[in-house]
Chains A and B, each alone.
Chain A
Amino acid sequence: MAAREHLLKIGVSGIRGVVGEFLTPHMACEFAQAFGTYTGRGRVVLGRDTRASGAMLEHAVTCGLLSTGCDVVQVGVLPTPTIQMYVAATGARGGIALTASHNPPEYNALKLFNEQGQFFNQFERSELIDLYHQGDFTAEPNSGIGSISVERSTPARMHIERVLGCVNQKRIRKKNFRVALDGVNGAGSIMSPRFLTEELGCELHAISIDPTKPFPREAEPRPDTLGDLAELMRTTGADIGFAQDPDGDRLAIALPDGTLIDNDDVLALVVDAVLSRMAGDVVVNLTTSSVIDEVAAWHDRKVYRSAVGEANVVERMLAVNAVIGGEGSNGGIIFPTVHYCRDSYTGMAFILDMMAETGKTLPQLVERLPKFTRLGVKMAFQNGKLGSIIQGFEQRFPNATTDRSDGLKLNFDDAWLHVRASNTEPILRLAVESRSPERAQQLLETGTDILKG
């Protein structure tokens, strides 16, 4: 069965859809009214990524927020982590980022943050969606209508300062690293070059850093979408290459030969860097590689696992007071000292700092990590079938340890397997991992057979 296209999705994770006939300014405004009704009067920070529909939706959301008596602080085009941090730092009632993250340019969405600048937890989200459906919004009279203020430079400066406070800026600058950057013409287009050159003293070779232009490639930074960066690595002889997604929360890293480091290994390097400096535990999602467990073991630290999704990882990090966390599966690094959010800038800074501290090249750093084979498939999802698939897996592997907190994860002595339904698309994902390539391949084949029923 072909996956049905979801051109508009209004649910507990907010509102997301294709702009035009599906995601209209009217809906975005109503959602903002629900948000403003939920937060109550006070300041709400509003920012966006660079997609073409951002400015239009910014007006719609501003209208909705003002009508509920919220004062709107417009921060313009900024990475999502910068917006989140600014919400928390300024004591705002909440924040909204207009971004569909790694989705194609025709999509847009509202990402909603509470007064800590964190994603709404599941309970807050369901309360908000009830308010939205109920449609009974606060409607202030003329005297109670909020006002707009514009804040352009402070949030980026604040974010960069926080990140720099966690690394040794001097020793990075001394190295004068040669760095390649693919900014996807996204929200980091202005901030990232400034960060890498002015602050970290790198020799920068950047492509796609014009925020007024459309995305030049598929928005998700993956090996198959980063051909231009690979080419740039080879022609410039860069020490390291960075690729961001349109809202600057995800980070992909390229080696000098143009190949990408696996996202799990990027996270492992950052976990290593953080645990070398700070005492505390780690939270990652169920689909993140066991490489994290091994790196944590080097430092004698514990790894907790959560369901997939930034909000879930953050919720767990707060609960166990973790010092570092993330999602290896999608390039998200969460470092609470900077902020409880996925932040590509923290990732860039830590990796460069590690290179500067150890004097090792990027390939040498990656070389130290234990090797795993990770394989995955995705499959069109038939509603209602997940349950019987889970039963099928449990029957096939009666001796594995199971975790049912997000689909089904089976842990073996030498491998693991995870099957789950995507939160955003109507697909099933199967991921397997083992130190042995043969074992991984064999698990993937068996798993695929079970999926096909």
Chain B
Amino acid sequence: MPVSTLRISHVGLRGIVGSGINPERVMEFASAFATFLHESGPVVIGRDPRRSGVMIREGVTAALLASGRDVIDLDVVSTPVIQHAIRQLKAAGGISIGASHNAAEWNALRFFGPQGTYLSTPEAGELLDIYHLRHFHFVPWNELGQRREDHTVLDSYLDELSRVFDFEQLRQFRVVVDCSNGTSSLILQRLNELYGFSFILINATTDGTFAHEPSTSAKAVNMQLAPLIAPLKADAGFLFDADSDRVAIATETGEAISEEMVLALATDHLMARAPGKKLITNLSTTSLLDEIAKSHNGEVIRVPVGRNSASDALSAYPAEEIALAGEGTGAVMMPQFRFVYDGIATMLTLLEMRASREKPLGDIVAAYPKYCMLKSEVPLSRQRIPQMLTTLEERFSGGRPNTLDGLRVDWPDKWFHVRVSQTEPIVRIIAEQKDTPPESMFNEILDTVRTYA
């Protein structure tokens, strides 16, 4: 099966530069976005440090200016800072240039609305329609937009963080951070300068080369970050993806914690202050979340995997009823930050938890009941997927089925979720059980799925 190097979807444009992402697509998408925007005002743009980001920035800038939009260029910044800047600078929207956790050869465009929010599914659909129709709005030569740079928003973003978190308390910790040569480096250096933190940074250069793939997996944490923690006598280690919306953790002993635990820890800490409120997450995250929510009289709302589904769900509940939202990948959104996936805010939340528990991170993590997750993926022809899902549903008819996104089946102490990847021609299989791995169920699912391969 051909491996796709380009994906144009509700999330935006993503692909490998050269074969998938080229100037034509970048400019057409930016023109479509300019045509799509209703509100007046400038458009904020920023990028992660990938080499191709400069080329893409130039194309995006030209297209926006040609549509009469002023452009405010933040240069290399994290995606959450772009979202913050959209509100701060009263912009009509924003574009983030960067491929998050993907390897260096990838890049992507993501689009944000007037409040720095992710586009809703209908909005994203309209943007795609305009892109495909290619009827773009261009203004005459004497109404073109103007470009300017802004270097003040990072400080105003940090100021916003300082008003939510007790920096006095948090800067006592000795923390090692693997910046993955991404945008977190600039933020954390500034936190050290302005607020007296002492983050120890590795892979902190932002010249466009990546020391390792900027993914927030346990594998990435173990590569360079984990071995440094004990020798440096640090309280914790954190690793960010390139655009700093996700985070991964290691304990004070240098043990990489499963990325699933980031949302679990954040939920426990935030729900304790907001009992009875809701957590919005997807169908593939751990049941530990349900257990934690229950202990705070909270509720878990499970939606299909993907950022659009999460933001659609957020808009469907009153904001004051929601404690937080997040994914099993280490991406967490909080109401104090207007529901933006923000790795830096997540890290500070976890440090705050560490401070309030007055226990080493390792001990905090060890106190939770053990859930064992098994994951796999199988390449599958799209044509036979519906049949495969039906077969699975029949075979596991003893559980409680949920078909919002592929098939999830729940039992009191275990569950599995079989879904189709949005980004690759594969089917993802996740199964989880309390205390011990659900080996036999997992193997049975795999065997069934493979008969359709």
Contact = CB atoms under 8 A, between A and B. Distances in A.
A56 B66 contact: yes
Contacts of B23: 29-30, 33, 63-64, 67
B373 to A, nearest CB: 33
Given A63-B56, A142-B51, A145-B17, A19 B62 contact: no
A133 B28 CA distance: 19
B24 A29 contact: yes
B139 A26 contact: no
B144 interface: yes
Interface string A62-78: 11101100000000000
Given A25-B27, A62-B58, A141-B16, A106 B141 contact: yes
B140 A63 contact: no
Interface in A7-45: 18-21, 24-26, 28-30, 33
Nearest to A28: B62
Nearest to B141: A19
B19 interface: yes
A276 B195 CA distance: 72
Interface residues of A, number: 40
Nearest to B144: A56
A59 B61 contact: yes
Contacts of B22: 67, 137, 139
A25 B137 CA distance: 12
Given A20-B140, A53-B144, A140 B59 contact: no
B55 interface: yes
Contact of A51 (B17, B28, B61, B141): B141
B214 to A, nearest CB: 13
Interface string B41-63: 00000000011101110110111
Contacts of A137: 22
A204 interface: no
Interface in B55-79: 55-56, 58-59, 61-63, 65-66
A26 B27 CA distance: 7
Contacts, number: 123
Contacts of B24: 26, 29-30
B138 interface: yes
Contacts of A427: none
A59 B18 contact: no
Interface string A46-63: 000001110111111011
Contacts of A63: 23, 26-27, 55-56, 58-59, 62
B147 interface: yes
Contacts of A58: 62
Interface string A162-182: 000000000000000000000
A146 B17 CA distance: 13
A221 interface: no
Interface in A111-148: 137, 139-148
Interface in B224-239: none
A287 interface: no
A241 interface: no
A108 interface: yes
Interface residues of B, number: 38
A39 B161 CA distance: 49
Contacts of B18: 139-142, 144
Nearest to A62: B58
Contacts of A60: 27, 58-59, 62-63, 66
A28 B16 CA distance: 23
Contacts of A62: 55, 58
A23 to B, nearest CB: 9
A186 interface: no
A362 B172 CA distance: 80
A53 B140 CA distance: 9
A16 B66 CA distance: 16
A66 B19 contact: no
Contacts of A146: 55
B267 interface: no
A325 interface: no
A29 B26 CA distance: 11
Most buried by B among A25, A29, A140: A25
Contacts of A147: 51, 54
Contacts of B62: 25, 28-29, 56-60, 63
B105 interface: yes
Contacts of B31: 26
Contacts of B54: 66, 145, 147-148
B142 interface: yes
Contacts of A29: 23-24, 27, 59, 62
A148 B55 CA distance: 9
A26 B51 CA distance: 21
Contacts of B51: 142-143, 145, 147
Nearest to B146: A55
B310 interface: no
A328 interface: no
A105 interface: yes
B104 interface: yes
A231 B62 CA distance: 40
A92 to B, nearest CB: 19
B142 A52 contact: yes
Contact of A142 (B63, B107, B142, B147): B107
A21 B105 contact: no
A67 B65 contact: no
A168 B375 CA distance: 82
20 contacts: A21-B138, A25-B59, A26-B24, A29-B23, A52-B144, A55-B144, A55-B146, A56-B62, A56-B66, A63-B26, A63-B27, A64-B23, A105-B141, A139-B17, A141-B105, A142-B17, A142-B107, A143-B51, A143-B105, A147-B51
Interface of B: 16-19, 22-24, 26-28, 31, 50-52, 54-56, 58-59, 61-63, 65-66, 104-107, 136, 138-142, 144-147
Interface of A: 18-21, 24-26, 28-30, 33, 51-53, 55-60, 62-64, 66-67, 105-106, 108, 137, 139-148, 214
